[in-house]
């Protein structure tokens, strides 16, 4: 027994870094990079920074290109904008009008005089929650809407939901159709894969500007930006699901004489239900995240109010809105996940119809009942401002007291000083000091060492494009924030994950905390962070850390808990101490999963670093935010692509490593 365990230990140790240190290519790349750095004073200028003259006017070219395809309505030059504007002003505006009329009472078709009373919506949500997941879910779903109403945020929430109600189904249908096409036609799949990869890493600011230009400012642009942002996972999940349908079911369908259309609608799609619904869940979650962020292009609703509250420094109210967003997000997440798990149940023959359709009947009764009840009873219809239970001021007070505590100030002051002056600023200056050529070589060496040849080649191409885009320094600063944040969140997130993974109970609690932290709108963190750490790099990095820690902790827990029990048992029997077991059995086996978390962390960091422009940065995010105010599509796009390319470099390297490790460990 002991032999087995020690053997396992030995192999795991020797496998830990597959040929990492002595690979000649890697060594050569590193040496070259170091040489270039050492020789910086005598290097020709173009190796240090590309001269301005070499940088192609990408933005202008793109502008000209966009201009051409956009067309101009005032000049009557036909282009894409005719189509998009037609769509925005026709069907999309109609749909948004319908939901806005029903939920907010906006003056649109079907011209209902009053919006649906909150009590009726909450009741309906409770019934649906009960149907999908029993009492707990019923309480969560109903409770969320009751909270919303009593916090005086009903209208805001409905403004957000009325867009979500259009954007999410739109994302679902587009994703489904594109997913089916990608599954059916290999060439199409190959064509959209890189596009999807870029879309998933593109900063959300890059979606916003084109949305406004093509789809008109207001809810239509918001709905479109939201849809585009949320669709990629739906496409991927649809394709995955369809590919997974068992060949026998396919053959059974064919042998039943199903035509192609019947095959698709009656065999493939229903059989891929689980994956498609997982896609739906992701669409809903991303839509909600984005619909809040569209506040930046002027979408009303929870996000818009949040931004307004923050702009008048009302932390308490902002915080309450944040809680509402979390509640809505968790409710929608849990409901749609329960829907994934929900399997149809049969009823015995001759079940009367009101039992067979008891949930439908119950929904109608509850909804109609509360609707009618709300007519005479005003509080069920609308909770007035003075009746609401908002505690904004009280929370403000708590915040203020906390922030003004001398001990808090002393601690944050020290952290701010140490991190900024000793760590972050020197690190940033060092990165900026490195000649561009050496920087690219370092990144390539990293990609090569971690991911292998292919990621290395892509790293070289991607970072060269970044260099030629003319935004090198800002890109390096962006990367610097991301790397610093990742380093700090690893130091915090991984130990937390390891500790939590030791018990089932704590794992679950921690995972719930992760869910909450992830759905809490990211820019709420920013204000308290500024008050604690000033408008400095520390604030930027720490607010990214809050976000990136989540996947690190989550995947550490999941990785550790998925280690096969017989291996830990073998380690126990071999007399491993807790620490030995952790370092030589559990962590090596959890590494591939943790790498996925690490990767997600980096993606989150690239997302958050852009939002951190709200604090005040000197990176790509700041420039991106600036483009929002204008019509510089070309520049907006170039900046966005830079972020995307850097993110993809890491994505490819790390995922390729994780996949290889999984294969080597036989985990997949």
Partner 1 sequence: MKIHSMMSVAAVALASASAGFAAEDSSEPIVIPIHNWSSQIVMSHVVGQIYEEMGNNVEFVTTDSQAVYESVRLGDVTLELEVWEGAFGASFREALEKGGLHDAGDHDAVTREDWWCPMWTKDACPGLPDWKALNDCAELFATPETGDKGLFLDGPVDWLKHGKERAEALDLNYVVKNAGSAAALWAHIASAEEDKTPILVFNWTPNFAEAVWPGEFVEFPAWEDGCDTDPAVGPNPDALYDCGNPADGYLKKAAWDGMEEKWPNAYEVLTKISFTNAQIAEMAKLVDVEDYEPEEAAEIWLEDNEDVWKGWLPGGDT
Partner 2 sequence: MTSDSPVISCRNAWKLFGPNPRQYLKSMPAGHSYEDIRADGYIAGVKDVSVEVAKGEMLVIMGLSGSGKSTLVRCFSRLHDITGGTIEVEGQDIMALPEKELIELRRSKMGMVFQSFGLLPHRTVLENVAFPLEMRGQDRHARRERALEVIKLVGLEGREEYFPRELSGGQQQRVGIARSLAIEPDIWFLDEPFSALDPLIRREMQDEFLRLQAMLGKTIVFITHDFDEALRLADRIAIMKDGAIEQCDTPDQIVLDPQTEYVRKFTEDIDKAHVVHASVLAKPVNGHAVEGDAIDGDRTIHQIARQLVSDPREHLPVAGKDGKVMGVMARQEALEVLLGDSANG
Residue numbers at the binding site for partner 1 (CB under 8 A): 73-74, 106-107, 152, 212, 216-219, 295-300, 304, 307-308, 310-314, 385, 392-393, 403-404, 409, 416-417, 420-421, 425, 526-527, 530-532, 534-537, 612-618, 622-623, 625-626, 628-631
Our finding on whether 243 is near partner 2 (CB under 8 A) is no
Write a three-state SS string for 203-221.
CHHHHHHHHHHHHCCCHHH
- Pick what 346 binds: partner 1, partner 2, none; C-beta below 5 to 8 Å, kind-dependent: partner 2
Does 265 bind partner 2 (CB under 8 A)? Our answer is: no
Burial 100-126 (b: 16+ CB within 10 A, else e): bbbbbbbebeeeeeebbbbbbbbbbbb
**Nearest distance from residue 587's CB to partner 1, in Å?**
37
Smallest gap, in angstroms, from Cβ of residue 544 to partner 1? 14
Residue 345 found at the interface with partner 2 (CB under 8 A): yes
Inter-residue contact 312 to 256 (CB < 8 Å)? no
Query: Could you say whether residue 187 binds partner 2 (CB under 8 A)?
Result: no
**Is the dihedral angle over the CA atoms 35, 38, 41, 45 positive or is it negative?**
positive
Residue 348 binds partner 2, judged by CB under 8 A: yes
Q: How far is the CB of 127 from partner 2 (least distance, A)?
A: 23
Using CA atoms, how far apart are residues 572 and 516, in angstroms rounded to an integer?
Answer: 35
184 binds partner 2 (CB under 8 A): no
Ramachandran angles phi, psi of 72, nearest 5° = -145, 120
Figure out which of the listed residues 11, 17, 259, 360 binds partner 2, where binding follows CB under 8 A.
Answer: 259
Out of 230, 267, 486, 488, point to the residue binding partner 2 (CB under 8 A): 267
Binding segment (CB under 8 A) for partner 2, from list 114-122, 229-237, 346-354, 368-376: 346-354
What's the min distance (Å) between Cβ of 219 and partner 1? 8
Binding mask 293-332 for partner 2 (x = CB under 8 A): ----------------------------------------
Q: Does 355 bind partner 2 (CB under 8 A)?
A: no
Instruction: Assign 77 to helix, strand or coil.
Output: strand
**Count of CB atoms situated within 10 Å of the CB of 243:** 12
406: contact with partner 2 by CB under 8 A: no
Q: Does 186 bind partner 2 (CB under 8 A)?
A: no
Nearest to 243 by CA among 182, 286, 324: 182
- Measured over the CA atoms of residue 410, residue 547, residue 398 and residue 511, the dihedral's sign is negative
Q: How far is CA 588 from the centre of its chain?
A: 27
Token pair of 465, please? 């494009």
Position 75 contacts partner 2 (CB under 8 A): no
352 binds partner 2 (CB under 8 A): no
| 659 lies in the binding site for partner 2 (CB under 8 A) | no
Choose between 266 and 337: whose C-beta lies nearer to partner 2: 266
The smaller minimum CB distance to partner 2, of residues 42 and 255, is found at 255
Supply the minimum distance, in Å, between the C-beta of residue 529 and partner 1: 9
Q: How many helices (H) and strands (E) does the chain have?
A: 34, 0
Q: Which region among 341-349, 379-387, 419-427, 455-463 touches partner 2 (by CB under 8 A)? A: 341-349
Torsion angles phi and psi, residue 522, rounded to 5: -60, -30
73 or 389: whose CB is closer to partner 1?
73
Residue 530 binds which entry of partner 1, partner 2, none, with Cβ cut-offs from 5 to 8 Å by kind? partner 1
* Chain centroid offset of residue 90 CA: 30
Residue 633: how many other CB atoms lie within 10 Å: 21
How many angstroms from the chain centroid is the CA of residue 203? Answer: 10
Residue 271 binding target from partner 2, partner 1, none, CB below 5 to 8 Å by type:
partner 2
Closest CA to 92 of 211, 209, 223: 223
Q: Least distance to partner 2 from the beta carbon of 240, Å? A: 17
* 254 contact, one of partner 2, partner 1, none, CB 5-8 Å limit per kind: partner 2
Are 610 and 621 in contact by the 8 Å Cβ rule? The answer is yes
User: How many residues line the site for partner 2 (CB under 8 A)?
Assistant: 25
Q: Residue 536 corresponds to which tokens in the numbers above?
A: 């400095």
CA distance 330 to 104: 22
Kindly tell me which of 180 and 532 has the beta carbon lying closer to partner 1: 532
- Which of 114/569 has CB closer to partner 1? 114
d(CA 604, CA 620) in angstroms, rounded, equals: 15
| 222 Rama sector, left if φ>0, alpha if ψ -120 to 50, beta otherwise | alpha
Encode 410-433 in three state secondary structure.
Answer: HHHHHHHHHHHHHHHHHHHHHHHH
Would you count residue 262 as binding partner 2 (CB under 8 A)?
A: yes
| 258 belongs to the binding site for partner 2 (CB under 8 A) | yes
Smallest distance, Å, CB 193 to partner 2? 22
Structure tokens at 449: 């060492």
Residues that bind partner 2 (CB under 8 A): 246, 248-249, 251-259, 262, 266-267, 270-271, 273, 343-349
């Amino acid at each position: 027994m002991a032999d087995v365990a020690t053997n396992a230990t030995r192999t795991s140790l020797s496998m830990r870094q597959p040929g990492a240190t002595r690979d000649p290519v890697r060594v050569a790349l590193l040496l070259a990079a170091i040489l270039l750095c050492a020789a910086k004073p005598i290097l020709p200028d173009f190796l240090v920074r590309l001269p301005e003259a070499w940088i192609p006017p990408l933005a202008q070219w793109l502008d000209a290109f966009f201009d051409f395809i956009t067309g101009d309505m005032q000049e009557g030059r036909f282009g894409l904008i005719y189509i998009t504007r037609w769509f925005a002003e026709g069907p999309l505006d109609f749909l948004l009008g319908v939901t806005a009329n029903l939920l907010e009472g906006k003056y649109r078709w079907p011209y209902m005089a009053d919006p649906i009373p909150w009590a009726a919506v909450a009741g309906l949500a409770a019934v649906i929650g009960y149907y999908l997941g029993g009492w707990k879910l019923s309480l969560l779903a109903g409770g969320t809407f009751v909270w919303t109403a009593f916090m005086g945020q009903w209208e805001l929430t409905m403004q957000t939901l009325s867009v979500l109600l259009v954007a999410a189904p739109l994302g679902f249908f587009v994703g489904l159709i594109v997913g089916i096409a990608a599954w059916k036609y290999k060439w199409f799949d190959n064509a959209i894969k890189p596009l999807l990869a870029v879309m998933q890493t593109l900063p959300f600011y890059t979606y916003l500007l084109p949305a406004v230009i093509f789809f008109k400012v207001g809810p239509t642009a918001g709905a479109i930006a939201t849809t585009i942002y949320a669709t990629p996972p739906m496409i991927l999940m649809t394709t995955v699901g369809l590919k997974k349908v068992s060949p026998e079911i396919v053959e059974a369908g064919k042998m039943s004489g199903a035509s192609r259309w019947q095959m698709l609608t009656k065999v493939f799609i229903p059989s891929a239900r689980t994956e498609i619904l997982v896609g739906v869940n992701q669409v809903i979650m991303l839509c909600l995240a984005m619909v809040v962020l569209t506040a930046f292009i002027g979408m009303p609703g929870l996000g818009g109010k949040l931004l307004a509250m923050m702009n008048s420094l009302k932390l308490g109210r902002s915080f309450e809105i944040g809680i509402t967003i979390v509640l809505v997000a968790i409710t929608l997440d849990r409901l749609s996940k329960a829907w994934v798990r929900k399997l149809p149940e049969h009823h015995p023959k001759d079940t009367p119809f009101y039992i067979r359709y008891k949930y439908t009947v119950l929904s109608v009764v509850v909804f109609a009942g509360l609707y009618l009840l709300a007519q005479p009873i005003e509080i069920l219809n609308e909770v007035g401002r003075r009746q609401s239970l908002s505690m904004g001021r009280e929370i403000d007070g708590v915040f203020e007291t906390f922030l003004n505590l001398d001990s808090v100030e002393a601690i944050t002051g020290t952290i701010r000083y140490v991190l900024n002056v000793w760590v972050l600023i020197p690190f940033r200056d060092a990165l900026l000091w490195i000649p561009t050529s050496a920087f690219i070589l370092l990144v390539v060496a990293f990609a090569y060492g971690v991911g292998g040849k292919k990621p290395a080649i892509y790293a070289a191409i991607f970072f060269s494009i970044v260099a030629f885009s003319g935004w090198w320094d800002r890109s390096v600063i962006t990367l610097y924030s991301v790397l610093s944040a990742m380093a700090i969140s690893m130091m915090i997130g991984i130990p937390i994950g390891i500790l939590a993974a030791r018990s089932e109970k704590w794992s679950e609690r921690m995972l719930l905390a992760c869910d909450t932290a992830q759905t809490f709108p990211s820019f709420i963190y920013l204000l308290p962070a500024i008050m604690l750490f000033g408008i400095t790099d520390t604030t930027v990095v720490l607010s990214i850390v809050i976000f990136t820690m989540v996947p690190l902790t989550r995947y550490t827990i999941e990785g550790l808990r998925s280690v096969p029990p017989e291996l830990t048992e073998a380690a126990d029997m071999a007399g491993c101490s807790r620490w030995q077991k952790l370092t030589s059995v559990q962590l090596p086996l959890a590494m591939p999963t943790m790498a996925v978390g690490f990767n997600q962390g980096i993606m989150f960091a690239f997302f958050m670093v852009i939002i951190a422009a709200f604090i005040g940065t000197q990176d790509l995010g700041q420039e991106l935010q600036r483009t929002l105010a204008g019509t510089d599509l070309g520049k907006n796009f170039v900046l966005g692509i830079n972020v995307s390319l850097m993110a993809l470099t890491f994505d490819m390297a790390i995922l390729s490593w994780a996949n290889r490790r999984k294969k080597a460990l036989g985990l997949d």
